[in-house]
Structure 1
Amino acid sequence: MRRLWLWFFTAVTLFVMAHLHMGIEATSLGRVIVASIVLGLVNLVVRPIVKLLTLPLTLITLGLFGWVVNALMLWLVSALVPGFRVAGFVPALEASVILGIVSGVVNWVIRRRSR
């Protein structure tokens, strides 16, 4: 159930960022939904491999390189999903920070409710 809530709020956040013109463009709500599903799959399959390969950089930067990995995953999704575009690395980095905050808040709320 937690994954469904996380996916839903990821889709909503991407939709809001696309409408606020934050460097993310989506041709339709359907494209945002597909992008959030693909982002979930990329985070499930590709991200652990990339995190393992970049572990030394992540340790040297005290975890800050993790944001770069998340931005790269979002950028990969924009390459895979037609009709969903991230305008460059900086917008991808900003979006990954915002998505990380939203994800943290959603996880915190779900944990508080399950007690």
Structure 2
Amino acid sequence: MLADFAIKTVINGIALWIAAWLVPGITFGSNPDTWAVVRTVVIVALIFGIINAFVRPLAKLISLPFIILTLGLFVFIINALMLELTSWVAGKFDLAFHVEHFFWDAVIGSLVITFVSMILGFFNPKD
């Protein structure tokens, strides 16, 4: 169980890093120290994983009528909300992770994270 969480955290970290690289409004700060950025990515991936494990199911349950009405597309909005919540929590821990705007940056970032996680999930030996 712990190994599965570690693999998912690594996948989330890579997906977050790629989203920050592709979407201009998602940043990991401007620190030139590579190890500081890697540390930030790992901690943010842990926060993102915890939020997705505990908050996301509740948000999906509450918004179930909207998910059904939009044939599942509202899940991308929920994912964007989880990304915004991760940005807020990371700010409380003084981490250099920030999402600028909800619609453009968070929604597009959540799409990138979803697709990268899906592609990397194919290589997960547990599945």
Which stretch shows the higher mean deviation, 53-62 or 15-24? 15-24
Q: Distance in 2 between matches of 1:114 and 1:29?
A: 25
Q: What is the aligned partner in structure 2 of residue 18 from structure 1?
A: 20
Q: What is the aligned partner in structure 2 of residue 30 from structure 1?
A: 39
How much has 1:7 moved relative to structure 2? 1.4
RMSD of aligned Cα (Å): 1.9
Q: Distance in 2 between matches of 1:85 and 1:11?
A: 14
Runs of 4+ in 1 over 4 A off after TM superposition: none
Q: Deviations over 1:61-108 (max 9, x none)?
A: 000000000000000010110221001112111111111112212223
- Check 1:62–1:32 CA distance in 2 against 1; reply closer, same or farther (3 A cut): same
Q: Deviations over 1:44-76 (max 9, x none)?
A: 111111000000000000000000000000000
Q: What is the aligned partner in structure 2 of residue 47 from structure 1?
A: 56
How much has 1:5 moved relative to structure 2? 2.3
How much has 1:4 moved relative to structure 2? 2.2
Q: Secondary structure at the match of 1:22?
A: coil
Gaps of 5+ in 2: 30-36
Q: Distance in 2 between matches of 1:43 and 1:87?
A: 20
Indicate the percent of aligned positions where both proteins have the same amino acid: 30
Q: Deviations over 1:11-57 (max 9, x none)?
A: 12222333445211113332221111000000011111100000000
TM-score, normalised with respect to structure 1: 0.86
Equivalences for residues 1-115 of structure 1 within 5 A: 1-20=3-22, 22-27=24-29, 28-82=37-91, 83-89=96-102, 90-110=104-124
Q: What is the aligned partner in structure 1 of residue 32 from structure 2?
A: none
